[in-house]
C-alpha cells in the first residue's frame, strides 16, 4: 500500500471548493495505476440526494468511466474518514485502499455526526430508532430462488 500526498491534496482541494460553494466540506478522488480516474465532492444539498457524498459521487463516476462495478486495483483518497454509508459503498465496490485526512470526530465538531448510525449497527432490529418490520418474506424469497438457480448471473 503506497500513498501519494498529491492525491490527498486534490481531495482536500475539492472539499475546500465545495465548502466555498454550495456543497458540504468533503472531497474525494479515486486513483488507479497512479492516475486520478474520478473526483467527487459533496453534492447532497445541490442535488437533494442524501447519498451524494463525495465518496459515492466519486465511486459512481469511476464505475461509469471504467465501465465496471468492481474497482479492484483502485485507491480512494477522501478529505474525511468515510461515513458508514460511504464505507459500505467502498466495500461493495472492492476498492483496495482508503486514505483519509479529517477524522469522524473532526466532522462531528461541525455537526456532521455519524455516531447515531454507528450505534444503530450494534443494536437488535427491534431496538433501533427507526422501526424495522419484516413482511411478506415468503413472497420475496421467490426472487432469491430465481437468482440462486440462474446460471448466467453476474455475481458481485
User: Which residues are identified as catalytic?
Assistant: 55
Burial of residue 85 (number of CB atoms within 10 Å: 0-12, 13-18, 19+):
middle
> In angstroms, rounded to a whole number, what is the distance separating the alpha carbons of residues 33 and 62?
13
Identify whether the C-beta of residue 15 lies closer than 8 Å to the C-beta of residue 26.
Answer: yes
Burial of residue 66 (number of CB atoms within 10 Å: 0-12, 13-18, 19+):
middle
Q: Which whole-number Å values give the CA distances from 29 to 15, 45, 113, in the listed order?
A: 11, 20, 22
Give the cell for residue 78.
477522501
Amino acid at each position: 500500500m503506497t500513498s501519494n500526498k498529491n492525491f490527498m491534496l486534490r481531495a482536500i482541494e475539492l472539499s475546500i471548493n465545495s465548502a466555498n460553494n454550495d456543497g458540504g466540506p468533503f472531497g474525494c478522488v479515486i486513483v488507479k495505476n497512479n492516475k486520478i480516474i474520478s473526483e467527487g465532492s459533496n453534492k447532497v444539498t445541490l442535488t437533494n440526494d442524501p447519498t451524494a457524498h463525495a465518496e459515492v459521487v466519486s465511486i459512481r463516476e469511476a464505475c461509469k468511466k471504467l465501465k465496471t462495478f468492481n474497482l479492484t486495483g483502485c485507491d480512494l483518497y477522501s478529505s474525511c474518514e468515510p461515513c458508514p454509508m460511504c464505507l459500505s459503498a467502498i466495500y461493495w465496490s472492492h476498492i483496495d485502499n482508503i486514505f483519509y485526512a479529517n477524522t469522524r470526530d473532526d466532522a462531528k465538531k461541525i455537526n456532521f455526526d455519524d455516531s447515531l448510525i454507528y450505534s444503530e449497527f450494534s443494536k437488535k432490529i427491534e431496538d433501533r430508532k427507526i422501526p424495522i418490520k419484516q413482511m411478506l418474506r415468503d413472497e420475496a424469497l421467490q426472487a432469491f430462488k430465481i437468482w440462486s438457480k440462474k446460471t448466467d448471473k453476474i455475481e458481485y
